[in-house]
Amino acid sequence: MTFSPDGHTAATASDDRDARLWAVNDPYHPRLLGILAGHSNSVASVAFSPDRHTVATASDDQDAALWDVQDPSHPRLLISFNGHAGHVVSVAFSSDGRTLATASTDGTARLWHLPGPIVTGHTSTVTSVVFSPDGLTLATASVDKTARLWNIHDPYHPALLSTLTGHNREVLSVAFSPHGHTLATASNDQTERLWDVNDPSHPKPLGTISGHNGAVTSVVFSPDGLTLATASVDKTARLWDIRDPSDPRPLGILSGHNGEVRSVAFSPDGHSLATASVDQTARLWDIRDLHHPALRGTLTSHNNTVYSVAFSPDKHTLATGSVDQTVRLWETSIDNVANRICSTTLTITNNEWDQYFPGLSYRPPCPSTTRLSGHR
């Protein structure tokens, strides 16, 4: 048995395979709060983390486990640790709460580096996370139809700031604008929403964007924050003018994929957009004319769904991630490709040009290089 650091809760271990939490504010009348059920053999030891938000249990089933007990009436299993070859008989947290020690009848003690702080509050799958530009706020999206904002000034003690409601289906993607004052959410309800998050404790709805004919799977702001790009299961990506976020307006439609579009990404200069699709391709688009995006190229080496695209900071490399278990890197600068080819080839001579391109003026594709001759 052990007490929480504030002394208000007790945890007990038992041969019945459960640990239990008790309210002991009135020690003469302890009250059952919750049951930690999940072990398959006797629970031998329990311990509270220093912040009292987590309980560790040790069991004869050879496992230790961590439980979220922030709501002690509804404790939730976070993770199990297996590795011991005998009963786990004791557990203890380090003073900073970042390491768990376990002792076992297998003759060993083990140290486990604990996962980072756990942000809990959503009631279903969390689909997307993003940090604000200043790094002080975290936004999360969930199948529970909400997005949430969290204060992470102290990343080891994240605190809920607000819950954004309004979507009537799963929220699939969330993104901060470059200045951090606006949040975009994308949903299975076929809409995107813009929110004023200058005061993240009191977000205000700005505008709702409609136009896609299927779930919106991805949303991202342009580097200047004036344009929004969205991807959808309707096989398109779309661009939106959000200079006035209370009155977003459609710009161009990027069509051509033969399957759901799962991800979109702007190049750092905002001149290009990349899309990833279930059709096993990624596409690169010239969007300097936002009303008339033009396809620059289709990337076709993956052999399964392409789920993710991202540009390098120098804008010259695109990364694509696929269900085929590979990540591929692509050169996006035609000049860089040409220079690389030219660096490994010799310049075509006048005579060779006339042989292969009779009647055309001599225009070698590569800069002049020195041709070594003399050997026969």
Query: CATH number of the domain that 142 lies in?
Result: 2.130.10.10
pLDDT profile of the chain (376 residues), mean per 10: 86 90 85 93 91 92 93 92 89 87 83 79 86 89 92 84 95 93 95 96 95 94 96 96 95 95 93 94 94 92 88 80 83 68 69 70 64 39
Which of 52, 87, 113 lies at the terminal end of a domain, its last residue?
113
> Is 257 a domain residue?
yes
Position 341 scores a pLDDT of 62
In this structure, the answer to whether residues 18 and 147 fall within a common structural domain is: no
Q: E strands, 83-215, where?
A: 88-93, 99-104, 109-113, 126-131, 137-142, 147-151, 159-164, 171-176, 182-187, 191-196, 204-210
Alpha-carbon gap, residue 338 to 329, rounded angstroms = 17
In this structure, the answer to whether residues 133 and 84 fall within a common structural domain is: no
Q: What are the structure tokens assigned to 369, written together? A: 């290089």
> Is 349 a domain residue?
no
Position 94 scores a pLDDT of 87
In this structure, the answer to whether residues 193 and 330 fall within a common structural domain is: yes
Buried/exposed 222-257: b ≥16 CB within 10 Å, e otherwise: beebbbbbbbbbbbbbbbbbbeebeebeebbbbebb
In this structure, the answer to whether residues 311 and 204 fall within a common structural domain is: yes
In this structure, the answer to whether residues 185 and 319 fall within a common structural domain is: yes
Contact in structure between 158 and 152 (CB atoms under 8 Å): yes
Count of domains forming the chain: 2
Closest Cα to residue 124, out of 138, 107, 139, 144?
Answer: 144
Which of 52, 81, 113 lies at the terminal end of a domain, its last residue?
113
Q: Which domain holds residue 21?
A: 2-113
Position 375 scores a pLDDT of 39
In this structure, the answer to whether residues 194 and 251 fall within a common structural domain is: yes
> Is 32 a domain residue?
yes
> Is 253 a domain residue?
yes
In this structure, the answer to whether residues 85 and 138 fall within a common structural domain is: no
In this structure, the answer to whether residues 107 and 190 fall within a common structural domain is: no
CA distances, 71 to each of 53, 68, 107, 125, 301 (Å): 8, 8, 35, 18, 48
In this structure, the answer to whether residues 56 and 86 fall within a common structural domain is: yes
In this structure, the answer to whether residues 150 and 240 fall within a common structural domain is: yes
Position 336 scores a pLDDT of 66
Helical H segments across the chain, by residue range: 334-343, 350-356
Alpha-carbon gap, residue 121 to 163, rounded angstroms = 10
Alpha-carbon gap, residue 331 to 339, rounded angstroms = 12
Q: What are the structure tokens assigned to 211, written together? A: 């136009």
In this structure, the answer to whether residues 298 and 171 fall within a common structural domain is: yes
> What's the burial of 351, exposed, middle or buried (CB within 10 Å: 0-12/13-18/19+)?
exposed
> Is 280 a domain residue?
yes
Position 114 scores a pLDDT of 82
> Is 359 a domain residue?
no
Angle, CA of 37, 43 and 45, to the nearest 5°? 120
Position 192 scores a pLDDT of 96
| Distant-in-sequence, close-in-space partners of 191: CB < 8 Å, separation ≥ 6 | 167, 208, 209, 210, 212, 216
Alpha-carbon gap, residue 214 to 209, rounded angstroms = 13
Position 374 scores a pLDDT of 41
In this structure, the answer to whether residues 148 and 287 fall within a common structural domain is: yes
Position 258 scores a pLDDT of 94
> Is 170 a domain residue?
yes
Contact in structure between 142 and 124 (CB atoms under 8 Å): yes
Contact in structure between 80 and 32 (CB atoms under 8 Å): no
- Reported pTM: 0.71
Using DSSP, state whether 83 is helix, strand or coil.
coil
